[in-house]
Structures are given as structure tokens and as C-alpha cells.
Amino acid sequence: MKILYVITKSNWGGAQRHVFDLATAMKAKGHEVMVALGGDGMLKQRLDAAGIFTFSISSMGRDISVSKDTGSFRAIYTILKNKKPDVIHLHSPKAAGLGSLAGRLLRTKLIVTTVHGWSFNEPRAWYARAVIAFFSWITLILSHTTILISDKDYKQALLFPWVKQKIALIPLGIATPTFVSVDGAKQHIAKLLNIDTTKRVMIAAIAELHRNKGLEYLVKAVKVVVERHPQVLCLIIGDGEDRAALTALIAALKLENHVYLPGFMGEAAEYLKAFNVFVLPSRKEGLPYVLLEAGSASLPVVATTVGGIPEIVEDMKSGILVQPKNSRELAHALTFMIEHPEERRKFGNALKERITTKFGLEKMLEAVEKLYLIAVRQTHS
């Protein structure tokens, strides 16, 4: 098959990691693979290095702009018209909306959309969520198949009319990452921050610095935790539009010696064994890769109950789940983890076992390829 993947942004986040895994795996299986994406970020660089042909669409971005979105639609339409893929597989709302319309106009054999968390679940005014839900439904109608990666999102998709036969639940899968040893990882973090980490309790978050990730609540929670445990050190690894606001909050709470923003680290997961606890305080999620990575490193997790997170972390079995936007509850969970090292070990081992058995990469790839093959064959019959 000839497969074209389209994604709005080319930074390195969960959706981009998913596209990379799919594209490289399908190429290895003998399919002809191309990727269209916005910008020339790390995803493009890694795809280029893997020998996968990419189309960079400079106008495509998350924010709504009539002129830029029109240009992005023309670019996607032109790529589809010239390359004539059997499958166009769309990721993220902007790419899904523009790509599904272009695909229908050009009668592409199979249009697939993967939902990495419904945008109408983001904290917005009710009328904005209603508009987003309407356009999400239109994308469901235009796509031949929509893949949901979490059971919660799948159940929400079932509520839309006339699409029940067009949706599929395929959870994310992950190959076990390569981790640096505990000592090696701690040495790397100490060198990165230029501090002594020997006697520190290390907490990690890996996330885009965006309001959806709820990182301001983590910073406020750390303020409470360090009053009781002044040895706590928290790294929020990533970059994004909220960096200045988080930096100001850290300064206002006098947490400069406890909370660090080291920026984006392309191989952050390799150093997870340096930490004692992983935390993800999101306000909105799909099925986050970072929790699969943290669990693969046997790290205990504190996370919110949003999206597909409870499908990964079982409360008080493989981690602790808290309500979103609740710094006090988050602080209580982190304090429990710090004060109960044996429970931390049990949670980490249980999470690793769950990820190994339920979220394997090959299982996901086989399900997606099977979906492609069945649909394309039906169009030829």
C-alpha cells in the first residue's frame, strides 16, 4: 500500500511519537510511506533520518487562521492529488479536518483519523466546546474509519449519530525504551542542572508546557510538599507557550531550588531511572505515551483521572490518581509516595507488568495494518 500520514505539528510529543512508530513500522513491512506535517521540528528530522519522505507544510499549525488553513488545505490536496495514496491517516484535529475533506474530494480509498484525545474535553466555555464537538463529528463523518486510543474517548465517540460502524478502539503500544542505569541517569541530571542530587528525592514530569498539562498545579503542590520534605527536587521536562508563566510562578513561590525547567530533552525517557516518582497533572489527555515510558522504567506514577489515564494507572495498585486542578490532593499523593518507599516499589512493578501485557507495540501495529488491509481490499472488491 501507499500510505500518507498527516499531522499538524512536527514537535516531539505523544501524537508525533505515534506517527513515527507507525510510519517506520509500515515502511519496514514493505509499504510505501510518506508524512506531511507542519513545520520542520524533531519529528521531521527523525523521519528524514529513517529514510521516510516528508512534506513540510509551513502554514499548518494548531491555531485557527483562515488564510493559513486555506493554504494548508491546498497543500494537502495537492499532495493527495499528485501522490494518490491508498491510505491517508490523519492525526490531530486540524490535520484531520483538512485532510478528511481533501481525501473525500479526491476519493481517496481509505481515510483514517486517530483521535489523541477529544479537543472538546479541554477546559473551555460550553459554547466553544459545542462548536468543537460539532466539527469533530463532521470529521468522523468524512473519515472512513476513526481510531480511538482510549476506552473513554471510544465511549464518547459512540454518542455521535451515524458513526458507530466507523470507529475502532486500538490502544497505544510501546516498545520497551532503552534506559540509562540509575547511577548514570542521576549523574546526567546532576550535570544538566549543575547541582548535587545525591540526597534529593527526585520527581519528574515530561510534558509540553501547555495549560492542558496542568503544570501550574504541580508547582503549587511542590510548594506544599517541600515544607515537609525540603530535599524534594522536581524537574518539569519540556518546552512550550507556558514557560514564562511557569518560571514566574516558581519565582513567586520561591521554589528556584526545588523546581527546574530544563527545557526539551529529545531522549528524556532514557533518564527516567534517575527519579523516584513520575507525575502527570493533566487537565486533558488521550492515552499519554509518557506514562507508558514511566511504567516501563518501573516508576510509580501520580496522575490525574482525565482521559485514558485510568486505563493505564490503577489507583492504589500501580500508582495514585487524583482529581485535576487540585494542588492539595496532588501534594498529598506526592507526600505519600515520598514517605512510603516500599509502596513506591510495588506500584512501579505493577505498572511495568500492566504495560508489558496490555500496551505492546506489535499488538498495536498489527491491529492498524489489519484495518488498512481490510478497508483497501474492500474498495477493490
pLDDT, mean of residues 277-285: 96
Tell whether the model's pLDDT for residue 378 goes beyond 80: no
Q: Which amino acid is at 144?
A: H
**What would the pLDDT profile of 67-124 be if each residue is shown by its tens digit?**
999 999 999 999 999 999 999 999 999 999 999 999 999 999 999 999 999 999 888 8
DSSP code at position 31: -
Q: Please determine whether the domains at 2-173+360-380 and 182-358 fall in the same fold group of CATH.
A: yes
**What would the pLDDT profile of 160-212 be if each residue is shown by its tens digit?**
999 999 999 999 999 888 999 999 999 999 999 999 988 899 999 999 999 99
Whole-number pLDDT of residue 380: 59
CB atoms within 10 A of CB 24: 16
Whole-number pLDDT of residue 169: 96
212, 283 Cβ separation under 8 angstroms: yes
- Per-residue confidence band for 381, with pLDDT thresholds at 50, 70 and 90: low
**What would the pLDDT profile of 331-351 be if each residue is shown by its tens digit?**
999 999 999 999 999 999 999
Give the DSSP H or E segment for 259.
strand 259-263
pLDDT, mean of residues 23-30: 96
- The full set of domain ranges for the chain reads 2-173+360-380, 182-358
**What would the pLDDT profile of 320-331 be if each residue is shown by its tens digit?**
999 999 999 999
- Pairing between strand 301-304 and 277-280? parallel
Distance CA 85, CA 109 (A): 8
CATH 1.10.3720.10 holds for 182-358: no
Q: pLDDT over 90 for what percent of the chain?
A: 89
| Between 232 and 124, residue with greater pLDDT | 232
**What would the pLDDT profile of 245-264 be if each residue is shown by its tens digit?**
999 999 999 999 999 999 99
The CATH-assigned architecture of domain 2-173+360-380 is: 3-Layer(aba) Sandwich (3.40)
Burial 340-377 (b: 16+ CB within 10 A, else e): eeeebeebbebbbebbeeebbeeebbeebbebbeebbe
